[in-house]
Amino acid sequence: MANTFLIDDERLIVVDPGSELNVHLLCNYVQRFLHRLPTDIDLIVLTHLHPDHTAGVEALRSVCQAPVAASLAIQHLALEEQQIGKVVPRISHLAGQLLPGPLHHFDLFPPAYTQQIQLIDLWLEDIAGLPSHPDWRVIASPGHTPESLCLYNAFTYELLCGDTVITLSGGAPLLRGGSNRHELEETLRVLRSLRVYYLYPGHGRPILGWHPLSNADVEW
Ligand SMILES: [Zn+2]
């Protein structure tokens, strides 16, 4: 499923815990191969809120007690969702009357951000360094989702990019369009302006090479 990354920066950072199986494998790796304790993890970062990247958050938090950090944009998205929610029940009620009986209780607009906001302890702003790990910078990268972010280390030329960039089985980098083409094009422009030699995608294999985003495809 989704890739989970572990950054060894004296203390450990986990990026995208993924599934509970990922969390189990990660904790085994930390203890058996690194001979460290899960409590050496001092930060959990979510690149975005898709469930294949976040399902194991509570399982990981219960073993390491580390705070969970994600994009500040989620606060605005949750607020927007709540404002839409005040209008939508009336539409849902009307739709409910028009739809056949079994669909009356179908949730047409599940409040994804409003629920998931409770997972998050720390809010990450564009360009800011990660708490206690200032070499790792947050790069807001809306496109795949509005709250997507990448993490960039300008000293090691590494970019962790969540689902903003994935790699296909042949190893080619691909940006998958979300709902906002302009945002994704702007994100690609920003990411291409960074010096990157190590690109770690949310799905697929890492790409090691000179400027791996120069030949990235965009799929709409
Ligand atoms: Zn995703």
Distance CA 55, CA 49 (A): 9
Distance CA 47, CA 149 (A): 5
Q: What's the average model confidence in pLDDT over 5-34?
A: 97
CA of 35 to the centre of ligand 1 (A): 31
Report residue 39 as tokens: 């409590």
> What are the tens digits of pLDDT across the range 130-152?
999 999 999 999 999 999 999 99
CA of 17 to the centre of ligand 1 (A): 13
Is residue 47 a contact partner of residue 55, using CB atoms and an 8 Å limit?
Answer: no
CATH, domain range 5-73+116-219: 3.60.15.10
Give me the chain's average pLDDT, please: 89
How many other CB atoms are there within 10 angstroms of residue 19's CB atom?
A: 18
HSE-CB at 90 with a 13 A cutoff on CA atoms is: 4
- Going from N- to C-terminal start, the domains of the chain cover 5-73+116-219
What integer pLDDT is reported at residue 95 of this predicted model? 54
Q: Where are the beta strands (DSSP E) in the chain?
A: 5-9, 11-15, 41-45, 68-71, 122-124, 129-130, 133-140, 149-153, 158-160, 166-167, 173-176, 198-200, 207-208, 217-219
Ligand 1 (single-atom ion) residues, CB below 5 Å:
50, 163
> What are the tens digits of pLDDT across the range 53-103?
999 999 999 999 999 999 999 999 999 988 887 665 555 555 555 555 444
CA of 51 to the centre of ligand 1 (A): 8
CA of 48 to the centre of ligand 1 (A): 7
What integer pLDDT is reported at residue 102 of this predicted model? 44
What integer pLDDT is reported at residue 216 of this predicted model? 86
159 vs 166, higher pLDDT: 159
Distance CA 163, CA 149 (A): 9
